[in-house]
Structure 1
């Protein structure tokens, strides 16, 4: 399974957001039954096969992990000729009924997106052993054998982003904040902070990280993935304290950070933004002019591959773990701000990536996936 994913991961992280066809009913709130019926056994023909997806409350237009995962479902529909069904959850209370609707509607495999769906996925999968499930960004050793986790060691790529941010900062202060204090958020913040620390050690500098204390596992959080205005307020607070690079780890709330930095730029600031999950240059183009880089998880390709394997009768509950080595996580290009990154820093990042892959540089987080 791992080899299959490695071969296909770098086909591209972004498929492009397109509309669902008549065979792909996109719903909001509690889901209706998908079109295709039957059991969840593999090896079905394309016409018999329906793959489904349930978002968390961020929805499929979050410019982040829900959107990227959904693009993988759309790619599977196009490339494999299958039917799909997707439902957007409006609140946490929608997870259980949305999952039940997928099972009752005959989905061959249902992909759930995000840490917040972990408990509901486990409960529904346990109650329906003949249905297959995959879950993005959640791992539980007590999952039944019909669940495949799709998880990422994002601390590795975030480490590179932290080093880059420290090297690029002109004020000697950078910042990060999260949506909710959960492992799939704090793993970014841990990696970012350690990348800054590593830069300081190598260069004899003292760049500060605002918003996160790795040792205490505490910092600045919005409290959810919805309050864009609060993300803007937090970012403005960091800018007021002197930070000139901010990495929000908060799904759609990252737009608030981008808006604050755009406004600061209009007033003469040189502040920059680091996006997460997807390449923000593509998914959040309003912030192109201030986007330094993105810490990417190639979720779309992994989702499509898991669906293909199940359709081909090759479902495997072994967790897929995205790393720098297999291309599951990566640092995005610098795009319009390429000239803001020195040649020396680019060279150092290339070597640092190699050192992380080889194990010469250890990147560790309490939230790192268990192999």
Structure 2
């Protein structure tokens, strides 16, 4: 995906008195500028824009575009899955030029809105299996092959585990969640084969596609209980793939007095959830902010292309975040091995099996 220069503009925020399900839509109108009549819009999933994960990171991408291009924005936060159709309609009524839906669960609402509004461009963050998506000239899927980066995370977790057990759980069993868990399990498996070890993965069996789920993404207490279940079974590294519910796993790790650590997902947890940085080995990031900013910029420049974007290790659309407070604690040999694994995946020497992986953009 083409990258664009980023500038800075000053935005004033105006809250509209327009009611919608979930929350009121809000708009930001910039003073002056050639693009003043362009409006970029976003609908969150039920995790909300302050999830310290993929909604928050996606919204940052829209904010970056608004500042760089001096355009207007509107957004609406979904409180439950039932809000998606109404919230998408609310954004259409705001006369948006592009509407970004965040999350697999917004697929249906996005494609229905796109079919009824051919003059509006749409983008979908984390749409799931690209092969099953409808064809639409005004919808651009933004997908990420996090099986690749999670493979590195699994190898890291196995290399840092003292108990010989690592644990993962998801929010709900959907492809954009299990792709992380698949890659994580495969990375642990590779570590065992390379080192002659037997580190166990609790919470997910990649071969049977069965595992542990919190039943949703919003309940932090449920996430903590789910994580504590894994800790009780002996897991000393946690890999929650559960949005805000996953913060409960970080809380469980923090309460362990150094016995349990974790790896975050979607964005660098030491930035989005800095209060938990002391227990984070690293994070599996997705460049959702860059992808969102780029598709908005392309739309402003009349260069919108509906071809699916797939973030990979090769194009830096996904990867491992810095080790931060663990940088001096992770052995140099382990770091080097992870860098080599990254290269081997990019070069095609390692093939990841997860069926949840999106196909590369053509």
Q: Specify the TM-score bucket, using the shorter chain as the normaliser.
A: over 0.9
Q: Map residues 94-173 of structure 1 onto 2, 5 A cutoff.
A: 94-138=83-127, 139=130, 140-173=132-165
Q: 2:59 pairs with 67, 70, 75, which one? A: 70
Q: Map residues 234-249 of structure 1 onto 2, 5 A cutoff.
A: 234-249=226-241
1:302 aligns with 2:295: no
Gaps of 5+ in 2: none
Q: 1:335 pairs with 324, 327, 339, which one? A: 324
Q: CA deviation at 1:179?
A: 0.2
1:360 counterpart residue number: 349
Contact 2:268 2:285 in 1 (8 A): yes
Q: CA deviation at 1:364?
A: 2.7
1:259 counterpart residue number: 251
Q: CA deviation at 1:99?
A: 0.8
- For the residue of structure 1 that corresponds to 2:239, the secondary structure is strand
Instruction: State which drifts further: 311-320 or 93-102.
Output: 93-102
Gaps of 5+ in 1: 37-43
Q: CA deviation at 1:31?
A: 4.9
Q: Map residues 156-305 of structure 1 onto 2, 5 A cutoff.
A: 156-265=148-257, 269-305=258-294
Relative to structure 1, the CA distance from residue 339 to residue 180 in structure 2 (aligned partners, 3 Å threshold; closer, same or farther) is same
Q: 1:71-93 CA distances to partner (integer Å, 9 max, x unpaired)? A: 01111111110000111011111
- Determine which structure has greater relative contact order: mean sequence separation of CA pairs < 8 Å that are 6+ residues apart, divided by chain length: 1
Q: CA deviation at 1:28?
A: 7.2
Q: 1:176-232 CA distances to partner (integer Å, 9 max, x unpaired)? A: 000010000000000000000000011111000000011111100011101111110
Q: 1:58 pairs with 44, 47, 50, which one? A: 47
- For the residue of structure 2 that corresponds to 1:22, the secondary structure is strand
1:344 counterpart residue number: 333
1:22 counterpart residue number: 13
1:39 counterpart residue number: none
Contact 1:168 1:340 in 2 (8 A): no
RMSD: 2.1
- For the residue of structure 2 that corresponds to 1:308, the secondary structure is helix
Runs of 4+ in 1 over 2 A off after TM superposition: 23-28, 30-36
TM-score with structure 2 setting the length: 0.92
- For the residue of structure 2 that corresponds to 1:46, the secondary structure is coil
Q: CA deviation at 1:113?
A: 0.2
**Aligned residue pairs: how many?**
350
Q: CA deviation at 1:339?
A: 2.2
Partners of 1:78 and 1:124 in 2: how far apart?
Answer: 27
- For the residue of structure 2 that corresponds to 1:296, the secondary structure is strand
